[in-house]
């Protein structure tokens, strides 16, 4: 398995609080992604990064921000958590753009917003 | 915009039955196609991929998929399923911007 660590693995938080999820990789891959997984929706891209300090929005980016100050770390922040952000969040990495090379996924973070 | 449709939401089979999971996409240009599998409680793993060449692609664990360009399809098949194939299966296709778009997923339950 690719060296991808997500933290925390589980998080329960209250509506309105900020939350930061961390993804750490040891593969030195250029591309990193944050997806959320919800029943009936599959995986939806939140944000992605194509290099240090280079990020872009995915299809469901509202309410989320990201930062990538080092190759190995990609942070996802929920500025003010809402119940609709209760989900399982997966980080993924790839050597090239995700359409051109396979994604390797982390083990996920289960976030519950009460 | 690219979209991916998996028509079967939940498939229930007995062991040794044959499997075919449907996947259709909308963008008609050059596409790269993937099937990922998620075993219960685990993360997604690559099952197989198609970039070019032979449209019949073989993956791990006896799975294969056929790319039919005229039908915008990339169906997943396995001749004889096992209980250990119980998982959720996701089809994914690149969009025009190079990002990967996933289908809704198909949950496969195999009865022993």
Asked whether the beta carbons of residue B45 and residue A90 sit closer than 8 angstroms, the reply is no
Quote the CA–CA distance of B56 and B65 in Å, as a whole number: 6
Quote the CA–CA distance of B16 and A70 in Å, as a whole number: 48
Tell me the three state secondary structure of residue B21.
strand
CB nearest B46 (choices: A42, A58, A102): A102
**Chain B CB contacts of A108 below 8 Å:** 43
Asked, as a colleague might, if the bond just before A8 is cis with ω within 30 of 0, I would say yes
Asked whether the beta carbons of residue A99 and residue B44 sit closer than 8 angstroms, the reply is no
**Chain B CB contacts of A97 below 8 Å:** 94, 98-99
**Chain A CB contacts of B95 below 8 Å:** 99
CB contact A90 to B (< 8 Å): yes
CB contact B70 to A (< 8 Å): no
| Spatial contact of A106 and A91, defined as CB atoms under 8 Å apart | yes
Which pLDDT belongs to residue B27? 78
Q: Which residues contact B61 (CB under 8 A, 6 or more apart)?
A: B47, B78, B85
CB contact A107 to B (< 8 Å): yes
Residue B18 token pair: 């044959």
Which pLDDT belongs to residue A7? 96
Which pLDDT belongs to residue A100? 78
b vs e for A13-33, b when ≥16 Cβ sit within 10 Å of the residue's Cβ? beeeeebebebbbeeebbbbb
CB contact B28 to A (< 8 Å): no
Which pLDDT belongs to residue B28? 72
Which pLDDT tens digit goes with each residue over A29-57?
999 999 999 988 889 999 999 999 999 99
Shortest distance between the Cα of A22 and any Cα of chain B, in A, equals: 16
Which pLDDT tens digit goes with each residue over B61-85?
999 999 999 999 999 999 999 999 9
Quote the CA–CA distance of A108 and A35 in Å, as a whole number: 9
**Chain B CB contacts of A60 below 8 Å:** none
**Minimum mean pLDDT among B23-32, B84-93, B103-112: which range?**
B23-32
- Helices and strands in chain A, H and E counts: 0, 11
């Amino acid at each position: 398995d690719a060296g991808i660590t997500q933290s925390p693995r589980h998080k329960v938080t209250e509506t309105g609080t900020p939350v930061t999820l961390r993804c750490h990789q040891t593969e030195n891959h250029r591309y990193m992604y944050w997806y959320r997984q919800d029943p009936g929706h599959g995986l939806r891209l939140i944000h992605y990064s194509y290099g240090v300090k280079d990020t872009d929005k995915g299809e469901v980016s509202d309410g989320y921000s990201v930062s990538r100050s080092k190759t190995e770390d990609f942070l996802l922040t929920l500025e003010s958590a809402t119940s609709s952000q209760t989900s399982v969040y997966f980080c993924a990495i790839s050597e090239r753009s995700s359409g051109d090379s396979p994604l390797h996924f982390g083990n996920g973070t289960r976030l519950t917003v009460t | 915009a690219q979209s991916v449709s998996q028509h079967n939401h939940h498939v229930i089979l007995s062991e040794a039955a044959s499997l075919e999971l449907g996947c259709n996409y909308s963008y008609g240009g050059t596409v790269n196609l993937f099937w990922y599998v998620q075993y219960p409680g685990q993360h997604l793993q690559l099952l197989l991929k198609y970039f070019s060449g032979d449209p019949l692609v073989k993956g791990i664990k006896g799975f294969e998929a056929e790319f039919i360009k005229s039908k915008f399809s990339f169906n997943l098949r396995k001749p004889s399923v096992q209980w250990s194939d119980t998982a959720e299966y996701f089809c994914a296709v690149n969009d025009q911007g190079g990002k990967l778009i996933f289908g809704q997923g198909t949950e496969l339950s195999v009865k022993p």
